[in-house]
Protein backbone atom coordinates (compact mmCIF):
# COMPACT_ATOMS: atom_id res chain seq x y z
CA UNK A 1 0.00 0.00 0.00
CA UNK A 2 1.31 3.45 -0.91
CA UNK A 3 2.07 5.78 1.99
CA UNK A 4 -0.04 8.95 2.05
CA UNK A 5 2.17 12.02 2.30
CA UNK A 6 0.26 15.02 3.73
CA UNK A 7 2.49 17.61 2.01
CA UNK A 8 1.68 16.38 -1.52
CA UNK A 9 -1.42 17.42 -3.44
CA UNK A 10 -3.60 14.44 -4.20
CA UNK A 11 -6.74 13.82 -6.04
CA UNK A 12 -8.48 13.60 -9.30
CA UNK A 13 -10.44 11.19 -11.31
CA UNK A 14 -10.44 11.40 -15.09
CA UNK A 15 -12.47 9.00 -17.22
CA UNK A 16 -12.90 8.79 -20.97
CA UNK A 17 -15.60 6.84 -22.76
CA UNK A 18 -15.73 6.15 -26.49
CA UNK A 19 -19.07 4.75 -27.57
CA UNK A 20 -21.03 5.08 -30.77
CA UNK A 21 -20.03 8.27 -32.54
CA UNK A 22 -18.88 10.14 -29.39
CA UNK A 23 -15.83 10.31 -27.20
CA UNK A 24 -16.34 11.97 -23.83
CA UNK A 25 -13.83 12.88 -21.15
CA UNK A 26 -14.88 13.87 -17.64
CA UNK A 27 -12.84 14.97 -14.65
CA UNK A 28 -13.61 16.11 -11.14
CA UNK A 29 -12.56 19.44 -9.68
CA UNK A 30 -11.06 18.56 -6.30
CA UNK A 31 -7.48 19.32 -5.29
CA UNK A 32 -6.49 18.04 -1.85
CA UNK A 33 -3.46 18.73 0.33
CA UNK A 34 -3.36 16.06 2.99
CA UNK A 35 -6.81 16.02 4.55
CA UNK A 36 -7.66 19.49 3.34
CA UNK A 37 -9.61 20.32 0.19
CA UNK A 38 -7.64 23.19 -1.34
CA UNK A 39 -9.92 23.74 -4.31
CA UNK A 40 -13.17 22.17 -5.44
CA UNK A 41 -13.53 23.50 -8.97
CA UNK A 42 -10.20 22.92 -10.72
CA UNK A 43 -10.48 22.35 -14.47
CA UNK A 44 -8.53 19.18 -15.26
CA UNK A 45 -10.11 18.43 -18.63
CA UNK A 46 -9.52 20.81 -21.53
CA UNK A 47 -9.31 21.09 -25.29
CA UNK A 48 -5.99 21.24 -27.13
CA UNK A 49 -4.76 21.41 -30.68
CA UNK A 50 -6.00 23.21 -33.73
CA UNK A 51 -9.66 24.05 -33.28
CA UNK A 52 -9.85 22.10 -30.00
CA UNK A 53 -9.69 18.79 -31.88
CA UNK A 54 -8.07 17.00 -28.93
CA UNK A 55 -9.38 16.65 -25.40
CA UNK A 56 -6.97 16.03 -22.56
CA UNK A 57 -7.35 15.28 -18.87
CA UNK A 58 -4.62 15.11 -16.27
CA UNK A 59 -4.03 13.62 -12.86
CA UNK A 60 -1.11 14.40 -10.60
CA UNK A 61 0.82 17.49 -9.65
CA UNK A 62 -0.81 20.50 -11.32
CA UNK A 63 2.37 22.28 -12.40
CA UNK A 64 3.71 19.02 -13.82
CA UNK A 65 0.47 18.39 -15.68
CA UNK A 66 0.50 21.88 -17.20
CA UNK A 67 4.09 21.37 -18.32
CA UNK A 68 3.01 18.17 -20.08
CA UNK A 69 -0.05 19.83 -21.63
CA UNK A 70 2.19 22.57 -23.06
CA UNK A 71 4.61 19.98 -24.41
CA UNK A 72 1.78 18.02 -25.96
CA UNK A 73 0.41 21.20 -27.54
CA UNK A 74 3.84 21.75 -29.13
CA UNK A 75 3.93 18.17 -30.42
CA UNK A 76 0.43 18.57 -31.87
CA UNK A 77 1.66 21.65 -33.77
CA UNK A 78 4.60 19.62 -35.10
CA UNK A 79 2.38 16.66 -36.05
CA UNK A 80 -1.06 18.07 -36.90
CA UNK A 81 -3.89 15.52 -37.05
CA UNK A 82 -1.50 12.82 -35.77
CA UNK A 83 -2.38 12.36 -32.11
CA UNK A 84 -0.63 8.99 -31.81
CA UNK A 85 2.61 10.36 -33.28
CA UNK A 86 2.49 13.48 -31.09
CA UNK A 87 1.94 11.33 -27.98
CA UNK A 88 4.73 8.89 -28.83
CA UNK A 89 7.12 11.81 -29.35
CA UNK A 90 6.04 13.34 -26.03
CA UNK A 91 6.46 9.98 -24.27
CA UNK A 92 9.98 9.66 -25.68
CA UNK A 93 10.88 13.12 -24.38
CA UNK A 94 9.21 12.42 -21.04
CA UNK A 95 11.21 9.23 -20.62
CA UNK A 96 14.59 10.57 -21.72
CA UNK A 97 14.65 14.23 -20.68
CA UNK A 98 16.18 14.66 -17.21
CA UNK A 99 13.74 17.46 -16.25
CA UNK A 100 10.61 15.77 -17.62
CA UNK A 101 11.44 12.43 -15.94
CA UNK A 102 10.75 14.04 -12.57
CA UNK A 103 7.23 15.09 -13.48
CA UNK A 104 4.51 13.34 -11.49
CA UNK A 105 1.41 13.26 -13.64
CA UNK A 106 -0.55 11.12 -16.06
CA UNK A 107 -2.69 12.17 -18.98
CA UNK A 108 -5.60 10.85 -20.98
CA UNK A 109 -5.99 12.29 -24.47
CA UNK A 110 -8.52 11.67 -27.20
CA UNK A 111 -9.37 12.84 -30.66
CA UNK A 112 -11.83 11.71 -33.27
CA UNK A 113 -9.88 8.48 -33.94
CA UNK A 114 -7.99 7.45 -30.80
CA UNK A 115 -7.98 7.49 -27.01
CA UNK A 116 -4.60 7.23 -25.29
CA UNK A 117 -3.09 7.20 -21.81
CA UNK A 118 0.38 8.69 -21.35
CA UNK A 119 2.64 7.98 -18.39
CA UNK A 120 6.11 9.01 -17.27
CA UNK A 121 7.31 5.47 -17.90
CA UNK A 122 7.08 6.06 -21.64
CA UNK A 123 3.72 4.32 -22.02
CA UNK A 124 1.26 5.31 -24.72
CA UNK A 125 -1.67 2.98 -24.16
CA UNK A 126 -4.91 2.54 -26.08
CA UNK A 127 -7.96 0.98 -24.39
CA UNK A 128 -9.33 -2.33 -25.60
CA UNK A 129 -12.93 -1.50 -24.77
CA UNK A 130 -13.25 2.26 -25.30
CA UNK A 131 -12.88 3.14 -21.62
CA UNK A 132 -9.89 4.46 -19.66
CA UNK A 133 -9.50 6.20 -16.32
CA UNK A 134 -6.66 7.63 -14.24
CA UNK A 135 -6.20 9.28 -10.86
CA UNK A 136 -7.04 8.41 -7.30
CA UNK A 137 -10.60 7.38 -8.17
CA UNK A 138 -9.67 6.03 -11.58
CA UNK A 139 -10.20 2.36 -10.79
CA UNK A 140 -13.68 3.07 -9.41
CA UNK A 141 -14.68 5.11 -12.47
CA UNK A 142 -13.15 2.54 -14.82
CA UNK A 143 -15.04 -0.34 -13.23
CA UNK A 144 -18.34 1.54 -13.32
CA UNK A 145 -17.87 2.66 -16.93
CA UNK A 146 -17.00 -0.86 -18.10
CA UNK A 147 -20.20 -2.24 -16.59
CA UNK A 148 -22.27 0.56 -18.12
CA UNK A 149 -20.79 0.08 -21.62
CA UNK A 150 -23.11 -2.92 -22.15
CA UNK A 151 -26.21 -0.78 -21.61
CA UNK A 152 -28.09 1.51 -23.98
CA UNK A 153 -26.62 4.59 -22.26
CA UNK A 154 -24.65 7.05 -24.39
CA UNK A 155 -20.99 7.95 -23.81
CA UNK A 156 -21.69 11.13 -21.84
CA UNK A 157 -24.18 9.47 -19.51
CA UNK A 158 -21.76 6.60 -18.88
CA UNK A 159 -18.92 9.03 -18.10
CA UNK A 160 -21.11 11.06 -15.72
CA UNK A 161 -22.42 7.98 -13.89
CA UNK A 162 -18.91 6.53 -13.60
CA UNK A 163 -17.62 9.82 -12.18
CA UNK A 164 -20.51 10.00 -9.71
CA UNK A 165 -19.71 6.52 -8.45
CA UNK A 166 -16.01 7.39 -8.06
CA UNK A 167 -16.93 10.59 -6.18
CA UNK A 168 -18.98 8.56 -3.69
CA UNK A 169 -16.07 6.19 -2.99
CA UNK A 170 -12.83 8.18 -3.37
CA UNK A 171 -12.27 10.95 -0.82
CA UNK A 172 -9.97 12.76 -3.30
CA UNK A 173 -12.73 13.05 -5.92
CA UNK A 174 -15.71 15.38 -5.86
CA UNK A 175 -18.85 15.75 -7.96
CA UNK A 176 -17.90 19.05 -9.60
CA UNK A 177 -17.28 17.69 -13.11
CA UNK A 178 -15.81 19.17 -16.25
CA UNK A 179 -17.00 17.31 -19.35
CA UNK A 180 -15.74 17.63 -22.91
CA UNK A 181 -17.04 15.66 -25.90
CA UNK A 182 -16.03 15.16 -29.52
CA UNK A 183 -17.66 13.44 -32.44
CA UNK A 184 -15.78 10.21 -33.01
CA UNK A 185 -15.24 7.89 -35.92
CA UNK A 186 -17.12 4.65 -35.53
CA UNK A 187 -14.92 1.58 -35.08
CA UNK A 188 -14.80 -0.65 -38.20
CA UNK A 189 -17.10 -3.25 -36.60
CA UNK A 190 -19.80 -0.68 -35.77
CA UNK A 191 -19.54 0.84 -39.29
CA UNK A 192 -20.30 -2.56 -40.80
CA UNK A 193 -23.35 -3.25 -38.66
Is 167 within any annotated ligand binding site? Answer: yes
Give yes or no: 12 in active site. Answer: yes
| Contact status, residue 172 vs residue 136, Cβ threshold 8 Å | yes
Strands (E), the chain: 9-10, 13-19, 22-27, 31-33, 36-39, 45-48, 54-60, 105-110, 115-118, 124-125, 131-135, 178-183
| Contact status, residue 140 vs residue 170, Cβ threshold 8 Å | yes
Count of CB atoms within 10 A of residue 80's CB?
12
Which one from 12, 13, 115, 178 is the annotated catalytic residue?
12
State the binding site for Na(+).
167, 170, 173
Kindly list the catalytic residues: 12
Amino acid sequence: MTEHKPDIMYGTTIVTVRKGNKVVMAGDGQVSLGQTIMKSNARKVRRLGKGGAVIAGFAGATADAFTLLERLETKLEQYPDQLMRACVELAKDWRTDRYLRRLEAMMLVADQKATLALTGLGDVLEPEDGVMAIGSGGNFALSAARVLMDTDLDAETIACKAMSIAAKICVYTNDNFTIEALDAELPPLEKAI
